[in-house]
Amino acid sequence: MFPFFQRKKDDEAREATDGASAAERADLLWQQGSRLLERKRYVRAVQVMQQAYELEPSRLDGRLNLGAALYLAGRQAEAVPHLKYVLALEPQNTPALLNLAACYDALDMMDESISVLERLVSDRPQWKDAHYNLAVAYFKQKAYDKADEALKAELRLNPQHDAARTLLNKINLMLPHQRRQA
């Protein structure tokens, strides 16, 4: 995309917020940032949401989306405080928990990632993909027996989960070898 198109969109966004109150401007910016996030324009989404954040820092859905956008833009360390803010007010917010675990994983903080995922699985044992994400984290820590259990739980909830089935097969091929070495 040519930069001149980007400036035009920025100008349109500015015109839409001219004369609006700070709360109205923040709302428009949060909405614009969410649309950018949906379109996978993560860097631009972060820029717009940070403007909204400056105007309205306490908006939970905005902070959640900003955290997700920061994570997707490769800025996981910056995402963590936003996700923790959401969880301080809504401790069982599933998207915030999943995103926080993903951030910790990306930051190679596997103990923290597993702790968040274990909390999620404990609070929401029927949540699809939670067991799978926990299994992946266990697998990365070479806790293959725990990963095996989590994958079986995932497949009970979601028998069509191909990635869970593939990882379970991989672990089952590894486990007999691992046990023989022990």
Residuewise pLDDT in 10s, the chain (182 residues): 333 333 334 444 555 555 678 889 999 999 999 999 999 999 999 999 999 999 999 999 999 999 999 999 999 999 999 999 999 999 999 999 999 999 999 999 999 999 999 999 999 999 888 999 999 999 999 999 999 999 999 999 999 999 999 999 999 888 765 543 43
Selected from 1.10.3470, 1.25.40, 3.40.50, 1.20.1630, the CATH number assigned to the domain covering 125-182 reads: 1.25.40
Domain with CATH 1.25.40.10 in the chain: 1-109
Q: Which are the contacts of 116, defined by CB distance < 8 A and separation ≥ 6? A: 97, 100, 101, 104
Are 25 and 17 spatial neighbours (Cβ–Cβ below 8 Å)?
A: yes
Q: Characterize 99-108 residue by residue with b for buried, 16 or more Cβ atoms within 10 angstroms of its Cβ, and e for exposed.
A: bbbbbbbeee
Hey, which CATH number is domain 1-109, 1.25.40.10, 3.40.640.10, 3.30.70.270, 2.40.160.50?
A: 1.25.40.10
Residue-level pLDDT at 22: 87
**The pTM is what?**
0.81
pLDDT of residue 20: 75
Cβ–Cβ under 8 Å, residues 93 and 83 = no
Q: What is the pLDDT of residue 177?
A: 57
Of 105, 103, 132, 108, the residue nearest 120 (C-alpha): 132
- How many Å apart are CA 64 and CA 102, to the nearest integer? 13
C-alpha 119/C-alpha 138 separation (Å) is 14
